[in-house]
Every structure is written in structure tokens, then in C-alpha cells.
Structure 1
Amino acid sequence: MKSYTITVNGNVYDVTVEEKGGVTPAAAPAPQAAPVMAQAPQAAPAPAAKSTGAGSVQVKAGAAGKVFKIEAGVGQTVKRGDAVVIIEAMKMEIPVVAPEDGTVASIDVAVGDAVEAGHVLATMN
């Protein structure tokens, strides 16, 4: 995975690109007359939000985006379908809801964090 920051019409987006298949550079034959060029240094990828594993039920992102708002707090009782986190993707606000009734055990992201589909955002008991 490689992370990039791009700007389109003045709007800044953080994107992560997954490399799949293809030929790895080590397996490809080296060109005979190709000069060796130094690569520009890349920014270190943002640290992944750590999952504390406090709860037995995981609340996962359904889509990639940025955490826009955190709706529930640790210790808060939520019902199935209640919004726990709001993700912004493609200029839409997408609620990530509790999969079942319970109590929020941990919030594993912060506002502004970039998340991938399937990323654990919170846990519940």
C-alpha cells in the first residue's frame, strides 16, 4: 500500500493505493542503458489507528473515506442502527451504525483519520 496526497481544484485528498499482481521490479529484467534515478523521498504513512480490542463486537467502515464526526462516546449505550461514526466519502456523509444493541467499549479513530473499507472504527460489548 502506498499513500499519496493529491490536490484537485484546490481540494486536498489523501489516497491509499493498493498494489496488486503484476511484475515486481526485482523480477523484471533491467534495461541495458537506463540511468539510475533517485526517487523523491515519500512522507511516512500515517500511523494506523490502533484497535484497543476493548469490545467483542467490531464496528467497521463500509467505505473508504475520512472520519468526519464521532457520534458515540466510550461507555454510551447504543441501539442497533444508531450512528457511531460518520465518514465523509465523495462529498457525502456516510453513517457507520452499530450492528447490534450494546455499549461502546472503544473508539479507535479520530476526526480527520483516513480509513479503508473494513477498518475497525470502534468496538462494543
Structure 2
Amino acid sequence: MRRFRVVVNGSEFEVAIEELSGATGSGRPAVVPVSPAAAAAPASAFVPPRPAVQPAAGEVGAVVAQMPGTILEVMVAPGERVSRGQTLLLLEAMKMANEVVAPGDGVVVEVRVAKGASVNGGEVLVVLS
């Protein structure tokens, strides 16, 4: 049995992989949860974590990049009022355009990126009040 650490949407899981010899007939390895809590929970009870907008250290209202990528389009400007769920900008990551949305109602205080900029995961993109 081999043990691995897997990160999914920012949540870390420890798993053990065991090769089954002829038991399933598929020849594929089985994933076995390591923690007792994970083993006790039925598969239907698992709800994947929802990505949350995390402000950078000391910044209230910061909207951060959830993954590294390139800014395709900035759709807001400082002083503009935004509503919860409104698209603030488009971030291209893994060959897909991802909408970065407002976590709540507010006013755009600062836009820290421009079209074409490369960003890292966790980097502040927009600050809302």
C-alpha cells in the first residue's frame, strides 16, 4: 500500500492506494480513505468544498485569483457598484476562461490587474468595500 497527499480545491486529503489482485477483475488500483472520519462517511455525504474568496492578509474585501493564469478581460473600474455574483473579470487558466465574480454587493475600490497580466494563485485582483 502506498500513501499519497492529494489537494482538491485547496482542501488536503491523505489517501492510501492498494492494488487489488484479481478481486475486482479490472486491474485498477482502489483508493482507500485513511482517516476514520472519511471512512465512516457514506460517499453520498461528501460535498466538495466550494472555492471561497479569501482576502489577502490584512485586506478586507480583496478578491484573489483561485489559480494562476492570464487576465483576458477586466469588466469593472474603481468606483463602480457591483452586485453579488457579478463578473468582475475573466481569468484564463488551463486553456479555459474562468469568471471571477463578486462575493457580495459593494463598490470597487481598486483594480490591481490589467488585460494580459499574468497572475499567481492567491494574488489580489480586485478590492471591494
What TM-score comes out, normalization by structure 1 length? 0.54
What TM-score comes out, normalization by structure 2 length? 0.52
Quote the Cα distance in structure 1 between the aligned partners of 2:85 and 2:67.
Answer: 17
Deviation at 1:92, TM superposition (A): 0.8
The count of corresponding residues between Structure 1 and Structure 2 is 71
Q: CA RMSD of the aligned region, Å?
A: 1.2
1:58 match: 62
Structure 1 residues 6-17: aligned runs within 5 Å: none
* Percent pairwise identity: 37
Gaps spanning 5+ residues in structure 1: where? 1-54
Structure 1 residues 1-125: aligned runs within 5 Å: 56-125=60-129
Quote the Cα distance in structure 1 between the aligned partners of 2:116 and 2:62.
Answer: 20
Deviation at 1:56, TM superposition (A): 3.2
Structure 1 or 2: more helix by fraction: 2
Higher relative contact order (CA 8 A, sep 6+): 1
Gaps spanning 5+ residues in structure 2: where? 1-58
